Structure 1
Amino acid sequence: MWRLPFFEALGNAQRVLIAGAGGGFDVYAGLPLGLALLGAGKTVHFGNLSLVNLHALDKGVWLEPGVAAITGETAAHESYFPERTLARWLALHALPSTVYAFPRTGVRPLRSAYRRLAKRLDLDAIVLVDGGTDILMRGDEAALGTPVEDATSLAAAVGTSVPTKLVASIGFGVDAYHGINHVQVLENIAALDRAGHYLGAFTVPSHGREAALYRDAVEHARINTPGRASIVNGQIAAALAGTAGDVPLDGRTAGTPLFVNPLMAMYFTFDLAGLAAHSLYLDRIRTTDDMLQVSHIIERFRDEIEPRPRVPFPH
C-alpha cells in the first residue's frame, strides 16, 4: 500500500501545532487534519495569526510575549473573534479548547513568538495551514491573492526549530476571487514536486467524523459571527457536503458566482522549508517588525519583476 509522505513525516510526532497562516478563520482549515491527528492519539494544539486587536484584551491572556492563550471565556469588545469562537466550539465537544493567537506583526516578532510557544509546548511538529492557495505563491505569478499574512507566517515558522515543519493547503479554487490563477498554482506544485518538497494530496473523507465535525464548526462560526462568516471555510464545508457549483453561502457572496467543487476538500501538502525556499522574496522580509513593512517589500518586489502571464485552464 502507498503511504502518503505527509503522514510519514508526522509519524513520530507526538505534540503537533496546527497553525492558521493567513489570519481570520484560517485555523478552521486545519480542523479536519487536527481532529484526525487527535484520533490517532497525538497531542494537538491549535494556533492562529489573529486579525483581532489582541493588545486590547486583558493582560492575563498573554502566555508568552507575542502569544495569547484564548479560551471560550476570554472577554473581548467585538463579536468577531475566530480564535474564541473556535475555543468555544472545541469546549462544546470536550476537545482541548485553548487556541493560541499571534498578533499581526512582522516576521521577527512572530518568529520569536513561535519559538517561545514551541519551547513551552515542547512541540515536535508544526503544520502551517492555509485556507486557499496563496501560501503557494512564489511571487512572480499573475496575482498573489492576499500574501502578506501567509508569507509572514511562512517566514516565521521556517525560522522555528522543531523537528518537523509542514504546510497544508485546502480550498483549491477559493482564491480565484482574489485573482489567483490556478494553472499557476498547479505549475508551482509541479515545481515543488520536482524539487522533492511536495508531500502529496488527499481528500478529507466527506462521510467521516472529521468532516462532520468540521461542517458543524463552520456552521457554529457562521451563527456566532453574523455578517462576517468565513467564505473560504463555507465553500470547503459545502464541498465536503457533496455540493457543487454556485452554492449560496450568505449575503457576503451575493452577486459573486462561486464554483464549489470536490477539489476544495483536498489538502495539498508540502515540506515547509522547501516551500519557503521556493519563494522569490521571503528572504527580504525576514527582518521585518510589522506587516506594513512586509506589504511594502512585496509591492517593491512586484515592481521589479515581469509577472508570469495568466494562463487559462486547457480543459
Structure 2
Amino acid sequence: MIAMTALHTNPLFARLESARHVLVAGAGGGFDVYAGLPIALSLLHQGKDVHLANLTFAAVEGLPLEDWLAPDVAAVTPRSALHQTYFPERTLAQWLELHGYPSTVHALARTGVQPLRAAYRALIERYEIDAVVLVDGGTDILMCGDESGLGTPEEDLTSVAALADLVDLVPELLVVSVGFGVDAYHGVSHGLVLENIAALERDGAYLGAFSLSRTTREGALYVDAVAHAQQHTPEHPSIVNGQIAAAVRGEFGNVRFTARTSGSELFVNPLMSLCFVFTLEGLAHRCRYLDRIENTHLMRQVSSAIAEFRDDVTWRPPRRIPH
C-alpha cells in the first residue's frame, strides 16, 4: 500500500514533516552537498535542526585531531585548512557563516561501504538524526548497473549502500536527484534514467518531483551560494552546480561559466532544476551490484567490484528520448 499525500503538498517535505533532526548529505563528493543546500535551508527555515555532510574529495587527513568527531568524519568550519585552495565543505561553511546560518559542514572520508557506514552511524547517533536526505547532483545515483553507461557511480552508490543498512536506525531515508541531463557528458543515457524512474514508480519508491525556483528564498540563496563557490574556487568550480544554477536563472543551451567545459557543448535547460525524490530503501533494492560492494573498505575496491559486475552482465543499450 503506497502512502498517500495531497497533491498540493511537496513530496519531500511531506515525508519530513515530523522529523526534528535532519541530515542532508552530498552523495557523490565534490560539490554535491551544494545540490542539497536549498533543501537544508528550507528545513532550517521551518525551524528544524539541520546538519550538513558531504563525501569529501578534499585532503582532510591533516585536519587537527579535535576536528574529528569519529574515524572518517570531520567537522569542517569556515576556518578549516585555509591553505587549501580546493575545499568545497569549507567554502560552503564560509558562505553559511556569511549569511548567518549554522556553519559546520561534516566531511566524510572517501572510503568503502563499511567505514562510511560507521561514519554515518556516528553522525546519526551524535545528533539524534531521525531523517537523512542523500542528494546527488546528477542522475548516476539512479543507475541500476546494467545500463550502457553508469557515469561515475562509485561514490554515489557507496553512500546508498552505507545508509541502506541503517534503515532500522533512522525512520526516514530519502534520496534526491537534481540536475537531469548533466551526466550525459559521462555517458549516461537519460532515456534509461527515465526508464529507471518509471520502474521505481512501479515499486512505490518514487515519491514525485519539484523544481528549484529563484522566486523562492531558498532558490535565490542557492544561486548565490554557487556563485560564491565559483568565485572562491576559480580553478575547479562545480560544473554540475554551475549548470543547475544556470537553469534556475532561466539560462538555456551552451551556457559558459568556466573554462573547464571548453571543448564540450552543454545543454542547460529547465529540466536541470527538477528534484526527483525517492526512498533510499527502494533505490538500493534496484541496484544490481550493491551486494558486491557491501564488504568494501576502500574506494578502489568499490571500483573493482563494479567493473567485475559489468563484465558479467548484459548491458541495456542507450535509449533515445523521442521529443
Given the two structures, how large is their TM-score scaled by the length of structure 1?
0.98
Matched, 1:24 2:30: yes
- Report Cα offsets for 1:127-154 as digits up to 9, x if no partner: 0000000000010011000000001101
Pairing 1:91-106 to 2, within 5 Å after superposition: 91-106=97-112
SS at match of 1:169: strand
**Cα distance in structure 1, aligned partners of 2:63 and 2:135:** 25
- Report Cα offsets for 1:223-257 as digits up to 9, x if no partner: 11121000000000000101111111111111211
Which residue is 2:61 aligned to?
55
CA drift of 1:55 comes to 1.3
2:77·2:90 contact (CA, 8 Å) conserved in 1?
yes
Query: Which letter does structure 1 place at the counterpart of 2:211?
Result: T
**Residue 153 (structure 1) aligned to one of 129, 153, 159:** 159
Pairing 1:14-163 to 2, within 5 Å after superposition: 14-160=20-166, 161-163=169-171
Per mean C-alpha deviation after superposition, the further-off stretch among 125-134 and 304-313 is 304-313
**Residue 255 (structure 2) aligned to one of 236, 247, 250:** 247
**Cα distance in structure 1, aligned partners of 2:111 and 2:92:** 22
Which residue is 2:212 aligned to?
204
**Cα distance in structure 2, aligned partners of 1:207 and 1:277:** 36
2:11·2:209 contact (CA, 8 Å) conserved in 1?
no
Matched, 1:12 2:18: yes
Per mean C-alpha deviation after superposition, the further-off stretch among 185-194 and 152-161 is 152-161
SS at match of 2:199: helix
Query: Which letter does structure 1 place at the counterpart of 2:114?
Result: R
SS at match of 1:48: strand
**Cα distance in structure 1, aligned partners of 2:82 and 2:313:** 43
**Cα distance in structure 2, aligned partners of 1:262 and 1:206:** 12
**Cα distance in structure 2, aligned partners of 1:77 and 1:40:** 36
Per mean C-alpha deviation after superposition, the further-off stretch among 61-70 and 4-13 is 4-13
SS at match of 2:66: helix
CA drift of 1:53 comes to 2.1
**Cα distance in structure 2, aligned partners of 1:60 and 1:42:** 27
2:173·2:281 contact (CA, 8 Å) conserved in 1?
yes
CA drift of 1:76 comes to 4.8
**Cα distance in structure 1, aligned partners of 2:286 and 2:295:** 18
**Residue 222 (structure 1) aligned to one of 225, 230, 233:** 230
SS at match of 2:61: helix
**Cα distance in structure 1, aligned partners of 2:197 and 2:222:** 26
**Cα distance in structure 1, aligned partners of 2:10 and 2:219:** 19
**Cα distance in structure 1, aligned partners of 2:198 and 2:292:** 25
Regions of 4+ moved over 4 Å: none
Q: What is the root-mean-square deviation in Å for CA atoms of aligned residues?
A: 1.0
Query: Which letter does structure 1 place at the counterpart of 2:165?
Result: G
Which residue is 1:271 aligned to?
279
CA drift of 1:60 comes to 2.0
Q: Structure 2 unaligned segments of length 5 or more: list them.
A: 1-5
Which residue is 2:265 aligned to?
257
| Corresponding pairs, count | 315
**Cα distance in structure 2, aligned partners of 1:234 and 1:65:** 32
SS at match of 1:313: coil
SS at match of 2:319: coil
**Cα distance in structure 1, aligned partners of 2:305 and 2:71:** 25
